Amino acid sequence: MSTIIKDLPVGSYAVIFPSISSGIDEEGHEAVLAKLYDEAQNVPGYLGLETASVGNFKISIAYYENLEAIKTWRRNGDHIVAKTKARSTWLEDWQIRICRIEDIYGK
């Protein structure tokens, strides 16, 4: 993604996912990510996604209307399978941060 989402509502949630790639099967990992990004758009309450990467560091921020939408995504079967593969093979390090958006400002 190369855009900044401009219409997020205050009170929505951000799921921040910084990760460091292991360098193993990067093409397979990217293919699964593309599929998951498409699937996430079908979750009721999904608001959008921003991603950026430099070298083996990547950060993805997914936005949702509420915590229930995040829980729905966490229960997605393809997402669960991908998380298992990511933890065992694709990622050297990672973390999930769930934050409520309290204020928004900028250009």
88 lies in a domain? yes
Bridge-partner residues for 20, per DSSP? Answer: 57, 93
Return the pLDDT at 107.
80
pLDDT at 1 exceeding the cut of 90? no
Confidence at residue 3, expressed as pLDDT on a 0 to 100 scale:
87
The whole-model pTM stands at 0.90
Residue at 43 is within a domain = yes
pLDDT confidence of residue 14: 98
Domain contains 107: no
Count: domains in the chain: 1
Q: What is the CATH number of the domain that holds 73?
A: 3.30.70.100
Q: Which domain holds residue 51?
A: 13-100
**For residue range 40-93, what is the model confidence (pLDDT) as tens digits?**
999 999 999 999 999 999 999 999 999 999 999 999 988 999 889 889 999 999
User: What per-residue string of b and e applies to 48-77 under the rule 16 or more CB within 10 Å gives b?
Assistant: bbbeeeeeeebebbbbbbeeebbebbeebe
